[in-house]
Structure 1
Amino acid sequence: MKLNFKSIYIYSIVAAAGLSMPSCNDFLDREPISSITPQQYFNSAEELGAYAINYYNSIIPSYADAYAAGPLNADRNTDNMVVGEANTTYFASNRWLVPSSGSPDFSLIRAMNYFLEQVLPKYEAGSISGTEENIRHYIGEIYFMRASVYFDRLRSYGDYPIITTVPVDETSELVELSKRSPRNEVARFILEDLDRAISMLKSGTAFNKVRIGKELAYLVKSRVALYEGTFEKYHKGTPRVPGEQGWPGADKAYNSGKSFNIDGEVSFFLTEAMNAAKEVADNHELTQNTMVMNPAINQIYGWNPYFEMFSMPTPGTLDEVILWRDFDADLSVTHGFMAYIQQGGNNGMTKSYVDAFLMENGLPIYAANSGYKGDITIDQQKEDRDGRLQLFLFGETTVLGNEDSLQYYNAPEVVGLTEHRDRTGFRQRKSFCYDFAQIRNGVRGTNGIVTARAAEAYLNYLEASYLKNGSIDATAASYWRKLRERAGIDADFTKTIAATDLSKEPDWGVYSGSQKVDPTLYNIRRERRCEFIGEGRRWDDLIRWRSFDALFSENMGPYVPEGVNFWTEMHKNTAYLKRNDAGELTNESALIEQKDGLSSANISNRNDSKYIRPYRVVKENNEVWNGYNWMKAYYLSPYSILEMTLASPDSRLETSNLYQNPYWPTVASASALE
């Protein structure tokens, strides 16, 4: 049963009609699963595969929306980029509130458990028709999916109930099952499920890499283990880590007698991360970067494989790609990346992000003799820099169109229609493609989207091994040199480390808690930041590193996002002049600078900063005017009052098995305590 994404999409429609799991908002989704009769189903490999397909879009983002930007905006709410208006829930005071109802949702966990409960006895009895290899693969997919759901819950809530059965609709059982397991136990459970998946899955190449495969399970195992190992390392000493002072789980009788060796747990998870990452990195080469930065006239492909990997029809042909999503306009399964990038998408990379990229000679831009040219123009900033910055960020002379002639980016769209605005002036170019048929005549993007690639395994090993061993071992050094060589940077990373001055790095990743990390570790973090532009890895990294603490006043303090150097020369570009009714340029500027009481302003004031400040355009009622703030509670999400009440044997919060997360109150609509 070899399926591509088109088959997956069709099966998903069929499965949604006849095989989908009912869900409700009640605790543990109490409605019984009644749409499948196990005696009549789960009897063939094809039926197992169809069930798994039904949950693909719930587990792995489909990005199948012609009017959305997908992962392009996934670095929002970090120091990498801004999207639309500022997120006041995270970065303004007292806006994230304890919900009165909803969350967490157990429906997906219940669906995975139902499959395993019905299928495993049949598999052990040999009563499922089909090849052994396929049967095992589809069971492996379900183990992978359950692990993925639990990883999502781990990141959101930390401690979480481990449920491996399909509970009946009995209050006493549901209350019992609501007991939260310490987060390290949850993480170990996830790794166990991934190990089961690894033992059963076929290679992703058997399905053209559009279906879960063994390599993906190894990669995600390294991701989970690195996440938990570093979270426990950097959050140790806070009540977010089991056994530490103030940990709320200590008050629960069901945790009595448990002891925690956090250093031992950290070592375990880092070792697991190293081993799993090495399985992928040693068997997958990085895609070549030719360092050609622009295509020729009418050239779509064949000029730079690294650029094209993120925007080609079938990226699964590349060794680096572990998983990708296929699209088909005939099935209305499309995406909107091309239009978002070509026209601007109300987003923008930050100055902090651009400044993090090294020079080609391996030196930071501030280092003596780095050769940095300055920031009067974007092109100037990109000159002789890390090839990833040159390739994946538009500059004035970056090609925007190449049909019959070359059209250039020229200038950021900083005052146009809101939906097309370049919020910071820095527009990312990853996932762009020069096949303009993808957006012409109403047809949206159908080129593939890479959702997992081997470069992550290189970086996971590099970080985990350094933290575990305190040095860069030969394997890590090899991986790091390969990443730098692909980026067009001097491969000697020791040169970069020696030239690094953490006080000059405007990067939240400099901090873990209130401590600055050492220059070697910071440069490992820098490498992740620069490699994953436009792929949405930054938020998880900042959470696990405890780097949002950088926003506390004793560290960097509140963060004001900035963009291009606009007020030195860029503002003089004719792109910022008004046009008359005939579409002709006038001599009147379209720029309206910020001024107190001026609600029609469309650009930050030049006297505030020469750099665009996207959230300092209108001051009135602007909760982030003075910058982003952060609270200790925000590293974990709060549980709702209803869910905590349902998890209590007598409906009292004081006796609930589902205790609240640190720094959050047990009052609906109340804000974080710290």
Structure 2
Amino acid sequence: MKLYKSSFIALALAAGVTSCTDYLEQEPPSSLTPENFYTSEDQVQAVANRFYQDIMPGHGGWDYGTYTNDNNTDVQAARTPSVKFSANLWHTAQSEGDWSWGNIRNVNYQLAELKAKLAQNAISGNETNIRQYVGEIYFFRAYAYFDMLKKYGDLPILTEALPDNEAVLVAASHRQPCNEVARFIVNNLDTAITYMKPDFEKRHTRISADAAKLFKSRVALYMGSWLTNFAGTPFVPNGAGWPGAAKNPGYQFPTGSIENEAKYFFETAAAAAEEVAEKYKNSLTINNGVVPQAEGESNPYLELWGTTNCAGKSEILLWREYSKSLGLNNDIEVAVEKGNIGTGVTRSLVERYVMADGKPIYASAYTYDDSEIAKVVENRDPRLQVMLKVPGQVNCFKNVTDDAGTHWTQTEPTPNITNANAEDGYITGYAIRKGMTFDRSLTANGGSYNACVIFRATEALLNYIEAEYMLTKNINSGKILEYWKKVREAAGFTGAAIDPQVTIAATDMTKETLDWGAYTAGELLTDATLYNIRRERSCEFLAEGLRDMDLKRWRAYEQLIKKPVYAEGIHLWNTPMEKWYNDLVADGSSSSNVSQKSISEYHCPHVVNMTNNSYAKGLTWRMAYYLQPLPLRQFLLTAADHASIDQSPMYQNPYWPTETDAPALQ
């Protein structure tokens, strides 16, 4: 999936700033493609290629790429917390960059043109290939819509590129209930699958039917969870105070009730996930427990991410390729050789990994010791053992004489938690090696071309496990245990530890309170099986960008309203690690370089400097933050008089006001 460019296609970019173009980011169709376009297979491919660049995720530039996508959750701390963890820093705005319809509008225009030409039999070339590319474009619409759904909930459902006409655009701005949007996304994916040829492209740099099915399971699991956990609240149709009630009078769920609607989505998720899981369950990459330290040593599990070429790795269903020769680079190797630029793994994540016998750290025959990082990984979940970097380990042993590689560390140092420099500092003291190739030639500034994994088959097994359990609340139902054991075998567990029931039986929910996934609606879970399903996802998907989505659909953030918490890192105080540093200043002043012992024995990076610190009392939450506020300008644009918000067909998200620069109401 190289970042293809084409001189003969110019997809529309951002919206204009005047006239009707502001509504849903319209541009005149003539600005998109020439009149005589879509006449050959290569032109259809060019359209699809461009959407890989515009819509699909990638590593980005000077940072830890997609591995920072779990920042601002309980598993990874950014250097500065998000405003979503403040009581009043997140405000409404006139405009909102995330309320962006350009990609969806472009997809709709391309699909309309392509379908018209297909109906006329006016496109020359291989029909199988043409249909594949059309299927990919349906997938792109689904992907772009899901991104919007997670941010805003209820949305307008648009299937065509609308004309620059105010009346048409205002009518199209009507928001549909979130479950209807999810159904629309699922239907798009079903259509995409019908167009695609199985195993169309062996390298898996193009979207496949399997990737579409996996994504379908993700979307359906998300919506089933959302409807279940937010039932009765303003965040779901017909919940108390649902702001869409007045604009969608008398709305009825297609299945008759919110419970049945959630069931429909869980069934959809389980069925789609099972199709993928059955195909790949015996092809998952095995973690052999090796942390390579010299040429000749390898670990296929680490190499899922620590490579420049994912071709041939059967577990990976879609990946993005970068290229040194084409100048398509990133900074993954630079970041992973050091302190994971821009992110730090938390104590909360580290402690939820079980011990090697499959039991939690407080219930194991092994003793958990976090007095040094090397001890933290002893006798632990094999995934943590290979992912967490330990001082003294070799970070780089390939091409070590390559002078072009200047941002490297041959041996992992003592974590420099006192260095506030974004590039060299360690935010929490913990750093991971996900994405490491051990190759100095990739460590020039901006000189990495590490591959980016987008979908992998293990997610299908975990999606099935959760969806099936939500349907039955029975761990023996369907293929839950079979798939769970497959995941653990691939993770590197052996013996009794492969059986998740060992973990479940030893789980004491009162001792899992550091894990935000242990909560729903502000209450600690009592179902240890459900919690351990959530735990397994978190441990398997380390730094893969799914954590915020999971915490939101589980309604797992709001316990922070009752009890704010600090993001914690290494056990700094009263351990041998305290002696690693001879320049510690911990008085809370602007001169401080570590957090105070009185706050926690664990390093808390967000409260090093307590001067005018909005997070001095910890990370908190507001109910409104589960969804983003709609930009206020949209209400005025769609109001009949362009002045009265109540005349707009749109409505604001729960607990967000319709006033400019105002904080959440609750």
TM (normalized to structure 2)? 0.93
CA contact (8 A) 1:15 1:54 kept: no
1:292 equivalent in alignment to 2:289: yes
Change (3 A) 1:48 1:283: same
2:330 alignment counterpart: 335
Pairwise CA distance, 1:63: 1.9
* 1:31-42 equivalence runs, <5 A: 31-36=27-32, 39-42=35-38
Post-superposition CA distance 1:566-617 (Å, at most 9, x none): 122344555x3xxxxxxxxxxxx22222x15x21110112343221111121
CA contact (8 A) 1:349 1:428 kept: yes
Between the two proteins, the alignment pairs up a number of residues equal to 641
* 1:543-558 equivalence runs, <5 A: 543-553=552-562, 557-558=563-564
Change (3 A) 1:503 1:200: same
Distance 2:54 2:624 in 1: 27
Distance 2:365 2:44 in 1: 58
CA contact (8 A) 1:48 1:135 kept: yes
Which stretch shows the higher mean deviation, 229-238 or 407-416? 407-416
* 1:148-547 equivalence runs, <5 A: 148-203=143-198, 206=201, 208-252=203-247, 254-256=248-250, 258=252, 261-284=257-280, 285-299=282-296, 303-344=298-339, 345-367=341-363, 369-402=364-397, 408-419=411-422, 420-440=424-444, 444-472=447-475, 473-489=477-493, 490-505=497-512, 506-517=514-525, 518-547=527-556
2:602 alignment counterpart: 611
Change (3 A) 1:377 1:37: closer
* 1:594-609 equivalence runs, <5 A: 595-596=587-588, 598-609=589-600
Change (3 A) 1:36 1:536: closer
Distance 1:30 1:403 in 2: 50
CA contact (8 A) 1:232 1:266 kept: yes
Q: Which of 635, 639, 651 is equivalent to 1:644?
A: 635
Q: Which amino acid aligns with 2:583?
A: A
1:672 equivalent in alignment to 2:650: no
Change (3 A) 1:203 1:396: same
2:404 alignment counterpart: none
Pairwise CA distance, 1:36: 4.3
Pairwise CA distance, 1:181: 0.5
Post-superposition CA distance 1:621-658 (Å, at most 9, x none): 11111110100001111111110111222322112111
Change (3 A) 1:102 1:558: closer
Q: CA RMSD in A?
A: 2.0
1:655 equivalent in alignment to 2:652: no
Q: Which of 597, 622, 629 is equivalent to 1:631?
A: 622
CA contact (8 A) 1:204 1:216 kept: no
2:40 alignment counterpart: 44
Q: Which amino acid aligns with 1:343?
A: K
Distance 2:107 2:640 in 1: 27
Change (3 A) 1:408 1:291: farther
Say which SS state the counterpart of residue 323 (structure 1) adopts: strand
Pairwise CA distance, 1:92: 1.4
CA contact (8 A) 2:78 2:427 kept: yes
Say which SS state the counterpart of residue 144 (structure 2) adopts: helix
Distance 2:205 2:238 in 1: 41
Change (3 A) 1:286 1:364: farther
Change (3 A) 1:306 1:481: same
CA contact (8 A) 1:411 1:573 kept: no
Pairwise CA distance, 1:399: 2.5
1:140 alignment counterpart: 135
Q: Which amino acid aligns with 1:459?
A: L
Pairwise CA distance, 1:297: 2.4
Pairwise CA distance, 1:24: 2.4
Post-superposition CA distance 1:80-115 (Å, at most 9, x none): 01111122x111121111111245222111111111
1:93 alignment counterpart: 87
Distance 1:614 1:150 in 2: 35
CA contact (8 A) 1:347 1:421 kept: no
Change (3 A) 1:290 1:532: closer
Say which SS state the counterpart of residue 34 (structure 1) adopts: helix
Q: Which of 110, 114, 126 is equivalent to 1:115?
A: 110
Say which SS state the counterpart of residue 316 (structure 1) adopts: coil
Distance 1:118 1:407 in 2: 54
Post-superposition CA distance 1:179-198 (Å, at most 9, x none): 11111111101000000001
CA contact (8 A) 2:59 2:332 kept: no
Q: Which of 11, 14, 21 is equivalent to 2:7?
A: 14
Post-superposition CA distance 1:367-406 (Å, at most 9, x none): 1x43123111111111110011101111234332336999
Q: Which runs of 5+ in 1 are unaligned?
A: 577-588
1:586 alignment counterpart: none
Change (3 A) 1:19 1:71: closer
Provide the identity percentage. Answer: 37
CA contact (8 A) 2:333 2:450 kept: no
TM (normalized to structure 1)? 0.91
CA contact (8 A) 1:15 1:51 kept: no
Post-superposition CA distance 1:341-362 (Å, at most 9, x none): 1122242111111000001111
